[in-house]
Amino acid sequence: MKVGFVGLGIMGRPMAKNLLKAGHNVTCYNRGSGPRDELAEAGAAIAQTPKEAAAGMEAVITIVTDSPDVEHVILGPDGVIEGAASGTVVIDMSTISPEVTRRVGAALAERGIQMLDAPVSGGDAGAIAGTLSIMVGGEAAALEKARPLFEAMGQRIVHCGPLGAGQTVKLCNQVAITGTLLGVCEALLFAAKAGVDPNRMLEAVSAGAAGSWQMSNLGPKMVQRDFAPGFKVGLMRKDLRLAIESAGHMQAALPGLALVAQLFAAVDAAGLGEEGTQALLKALEGLNGVAVGG
């Protein structure tokens, strides 16, 4: 397929490369020149604006930071909407507000352009390996048209419902991840306070009912004091803000979400917003006056 790709960050860069590896014709736009050069070397064409990236394409993928960024690259000056033709499928793979998703989709529909919201889970490792979980909202026919693209980037593709449902399910994902991560952090602190080797604790517990992706993958990193980002604290704070806003609209009481959002706020306030989400441990270490591992 001929596909435009807007946003070459930690996730977008390997996702675009996987589209190229699958044989798709990819035209990329990114504000920074470094990722553009990297994709050009991989075989992509380079556009100077989102409008140019969308011109003549069967589909356009956007993956940028937040709701205002999506509105800007799709609906703003020289945006995707100005270059995409009627019948094009615009696929937003960012994590943004479900309400904004529906607003952008309505504006595109006035031009005969279909939209899918398709946020992802799996981190940079999943983006590189092409094993992402992709949560799709929108019309089934548009999903089937875009399926070859999704199959090049992900392993599990789930149609969650109408436009906006993909974003809602992604926020469910973030609620579950951060709640579980908090439990792992507390278990590590409990072991450290008790004088138990945290590595032995992880070995014993991760094979049982308490096992999780966060325990198996982020637990050892925390013990090793490896806080390099697979997914940054600052981005997770944005996702939790979106979840809290949506919960407020629905009058849903989610006290665990509120607690973990406050702890991530403490990590960010300490200047650690660029670290990986496993830096949540540092907020608890500060409360307990003890460090895990090292």
Give me the active site residues, please.
170
Phi and psi (nearest 5°) for 114? -80, 150
Neighbours of 98 (CB within 10 A): 23
CA end-to-end distance (rounded Å), the chain: 48
Contact status, residue 266 vs residue 259, Cβ threshold 8 Å: no
> Where is 159: in which H helix or E strand?
strand 154-161
Contact status, residue 160 vs residue 117, Cβ threshold 8 Å: no
Q: Give Cβ neighbours of residue 256 (< 8 Å, ≥ 6 apart).
A: 175, 179, 182
d(CA 37, CA 17): 12
Handedness of CA 254, 97, 106, 156 (dihedral sign): negative
> Where is 120: in which H helix or E strand?
strand 120-121
Phi and psi (nearest 5°) for 156? -120, 120
